[in-house]
Amino acid sequence: MSSKTLPPLPPIDYAYLEETLLQLLAIPSPVGLTDGVARYTAGRLEALGIPYELTRRGAIRATLRGRESRPARAIVAHLDTLGAMVRQIKPNGRLGVVPIGHWSSRFAEGGRLTIFTDSGHFRGTCLPLKTSGHAFGDEIDSQPVGWEHVEVRVDTPAHDAQDLVKAGINVGDWIAFDPQLEIQPGGYINSRYLDDKAAVAALLAACKAIKDSGRVPPVDAYPLFTITEEVGSGSSAALHGDIAEMVSLDISIAAPGQNTDEQAATICVQDMSGPFDYHLTHKLIRLASEHGIRHRRDVFRYYRSDSAAAVEAGNDIRTALIGFGADASHAQERTHRDALEALAQLTAAYMLSEPVARRDRSSMGSLEGFTEQVKPEDMLVPSTPLPVPGEFLEPDGAAAAAVDAESSERM
**Catalytic residue at 229?**
yes
Q: How many residues does the chain have?
A: 411
| Nearest-angstrom CA–CA distance, 199 and 209 | 15
Say which of 18, 109, 182, 229 is annotated catalytic.
229
Pure H helices in 80-235 = 133-136, 139-142, 161-167, 194-213
| Nearest-angstrom CA–CA distance, 111 and 409 | 88
Sign of CA dihedral 364, 366, 369, 371: positive
Residue 17 contacts by C-beta under 8 Å, 6 or more apart in sequence? 201, 202, 204, 205, 340, 341, 344
Nearest to 305 by CA among 198, 195, 222, 220: 195
| Nearest-angstrom CA–CA distance, 106 and 193 | 16
Residue type, 344: A
| Nearest-angstrom CA–CA distance, 72 and 365 | 17
Residues serving a catalytic function are 229
